[in-house]
A and B are shown apart, each in its own frame.
Chain A
Amino acid sequence: MPTFGTLELTSVVDRLATMPDLDTEAWSLPGAEILQLAFEVPRATETLLPRAMHPAIPPYATIWVTRYTESPVGPFTLAQLRLMGRAGAHPRGFVLGAVASTEDAARALRERWGLPVVPGRVTFTRRHDRVMASVVRDGVTVLDCELIDPEAIFGGDVQYIHSITLAHAPLEGQTGPRLIQVDSRYTIKKAERGRPRVSTLVAPAWGAGPLRALNPIAATVTSVDTDLPRIRFVMDVEIPVVRGTRRIRESREE
Chain B
Amino acid sequence: MKFGLFYELSVPRPWTRESERTVYQNALEQVRLADELGFDQVWAVEHHFLEEYSHCPAPELFLTACAMITKRIRVGHGIVICVPEFNHPIKIAERTAVLDILSGGRLEVGTGRSATWTELGGFRANPDTTKKSWDEFVRCLPKMWTQETYSYEGEFWSMPERTIVPKVYQRPHPPLWVAVTSPGTELDAAERGLGSLGLTFGQFAEQEKRIAEYRRRIRNCEPVGAFVNDQVSTVNFLYCHEDDTTARTTGRRMADTFNYLASQLISAREAFPSRSYQSLGLLPQLRRQATGPDATEQAGEGLAFGGPQRVIHTLKRWEAVGVDRVNFLMNAMEVIPQADVLASLRLFAKEVMPAFADEKPASVAAGAGA
Q: Which residues of A contact B (CB under 8 A)?
A: 1-3, 38, 40, 54, 56-58, 60, 86, 88-91, 153-154, 156-159, 161, 191, 193, 215, 217-218, 220, 233, 241-242, 245, 247
Contact call B264/A242, Cβ cutoff below 8 A = no
The reply on B188 being an interface residue by CB < 8 A is no
Closest 9 A-B residue pairs measured CB to CB?
A89-B263, A89-B290, A157-B273, A88-B292, A218-B272, A158-B273, A89-B287, A2-B264, A217-B271
Q: Please, how many angstroms separate the alpha-carbon atoms of A3 and B12 in the complex?
A: 11
Nearest CB in chain A to that of B272: its residue? A218
The reply on B117 being an interface residue by CB < 8 A is yes
A56 surroundings in chain B (CB, below 8 A): 264, 266
A1 surroundings in chain B (CB, below 8 A): 12-13, 52
Q: Please, how many angstroms separate the alpha-carbon atoms of A241 and B290 in the complex?
A: 13
Q: Please, how many angstroms separate the alpha-carbon atoms of A156 and B275 in the complex?
A: 9
Chain B nearest CB, measured from A248 CB (Å): 12
B152 surroundings in chain A (CB, below 8 A): none
Nearest CB in chain A to that of B280: its residue? A159
Known: A89-B259, A153-B275. A57 touches B292 (CB 8 A): no
Nearest CB in chain B to that of A86: its residue? B264
Contact call B12/A57, Cβ cutoff below 8 A = no
Contact call A217/B272, Cβ cutoff below 8 A = yes
7 contacts between A and B (CB under 8 A): A2-B52, A57-B49, A58-B118, A58-B122, A153-B273, A159-B280, A245-B293
Most chain B CB within 10 A, of A88, A161, A247, is at A88
Contact call B273/A191, Cβ cutoff below 8 A = yes
Contact call B13/A242, Cβ cutoff below 8 A = no
Nearest CB in chain A to that of B118: its residue? A57
Among B121, B273, B278, B280, which residue has its beta carbon within 8 angstroms of that of A193?
Answer: B273
Q: Please, how many angstroms separate the alpha-carbon atoms of A91 and B116 in the complex?
A: 14
Contact call A242/B275, Cβ cutoff below 8 A = no
Among A91, A156, A245, which residue has its beta carbon within 8 angstroms of that of B278?
Answer: A156
The reply on B51 being an interface residue by CB < 8 A is yes
Chain A nearest CB, measured from B282 CB (Å): 13
Contact call B269/A217, Cβ cutoff below 8 A = no
Nearest CB in chain A to that of B293: its residue? A245
Nearest CB in chain A to that of B263: its residue? A89
Q: Please, how many angstroms separate the alpha-carbon atoms of A56 and B49 in the complex?
A: 12
Contact call A38/B263, Cβ cutoff below 8 A = no
A218 surroundings in chain B (CB, below 8 A): 271-273
Question: Which B residues, 227 to 275, have Cβ-Cβ distances below 8 Å to chain A?
Answer: 259-261, 263-266, 269-275
Contact call A242/B273, Cβ cutoff below 8 A = no
Most chain B CB within 10 A, of A54, A58, A156, A220, is at A58
The reply on B336 being an interface residue by CB < 8 A is no
Q: Please, how many angstroms separate the alpha-carbon atoms of A1 and B52 in the complex?
A: 8
Q: Please, how many angstroms separate the alpha-carbon atoms of A57 and B266 in the complex?
A: 7
B264 surroundings in chain A (CB, below 8 A): 2, 54, 56-57, 86, 89
B260 surroundings in chain A (CB, below 8 A): 2, 88-89
Contact call B117/A157, Cβ cutoff below 8 A = no
Chain B nearest CB, measured from A189 CB (Å): 15
Most chain B CB within 10 A, of A154, A159, A215, is at A159
A215 surroundings in chain B (CB, below 8 A): 121
Known: A2-B52, A54-B264. A90 touches B273 (CB 8 A): no
16 extra interface residue pairs, beta carbon distance < 8 Å, beyond A60-B266, A89-B263: A2-B52, A2-B260, A56-B264, A57-B51, A88-B263, A88-B293, A89-B259, A89-B264, A89-B286, A89-B287, A153-B274, A156-B278, A157-B278, A218-B271, A218-B272, A242-B293
Contact call A40/B121, Cβ cutoff below 8 A = yes
A40 surroundings in chain B (CB, below 8 A): 121
B273 surroundings in chain A (CB, below 8 A): 153, 157-159, 191, 193, 218, 220
Q: Please, how many angstroms separate the alpha-carbon atoms of A38 and B270 in the complex?
A: 10
Q: Scan B267-305; emit 1 where CB is below 8 A from any A CB, else 0.
A: 001111111011010000011001111000000000000
Contact call A90/B280, Cβ cutoff below 8 A = no
Among B261, B265, B277, B287, which residue has its beta carbon within 8 angstroms of that of A90?
Answer: B287
B52 surroundings in chain A (CB, below 8 A): 1-2
B286 surroundings in chain A (CB, below 8 A): 89
The reply on B50 being an interface residue by CB < 8 A is yes
Q: Please, how many angstroms separate the alpha-carbon atoms of A157 and B50 in the complex?
A: 24
Known: A3-B13, A159-B280, A245-B293. A58 touches B270 (CB 8 A): no
A90 surroundings in chain B (CB, below 8 A): 263, 287, 292
Chain A nearest CB, measured from B57 CB (Å): 15
Nearest CB in chain B to that of A39: its residue? B271
Contact call A58/B121, Cβ cutoff below 8 A = yes
Contact call A247/B263, Cβ cutoff below 8 A = no
Q: Please, how many angstroms separate the alpha-carbon atoms of A10 and B269 in the complex?
A: 36
Known: A89-B260, A89-B292, A242-B292. A157 touches B269 (CB 8 A): yes
Chain A nearest CB, measured from B255 CB (Å): 13
Q: Scan B38-60; emit 1 where CB is below 8 A from any A CB, else 0.
A: 00000000000111100000000
Q: Please, how many angstroms separate the alpha-carbon atoms of A161 and B149 in the complex?
A: 50
Most chain B CB within 10 A, of A57, A89, A91, A247, is at A89
Known: A2-B264, A57-B51, A57-B265. A157 touches B292 (CB 8 A): no
Q: Please, how many angstroms separate the alpha-carbon atoms of A40 and B136 in the complex?
A: 30
B117 surroundings in chain A (CB, below 8 A): 217
Chain A nearest CB, measured from B247 CB (Å): 24
A58 surroundings in chain B (CB, below 8 A): 49, 118, 121-122, 266
Q: Please, how many angstroms separate the alpha-carbon atoms of A57 and B264 in the complex?
A: 7
Nearest CB in chain A to that of B264: its residue? A2
B291 surroundings in chain A (CB, below 8 A): 88-89, 242
Q: Please, how many angstroms separate the alpha-carbon atoms of A2 and B13 in the complex?
A: 8
Contact call A247/B293, Cβ cutoff below 8 A = yes
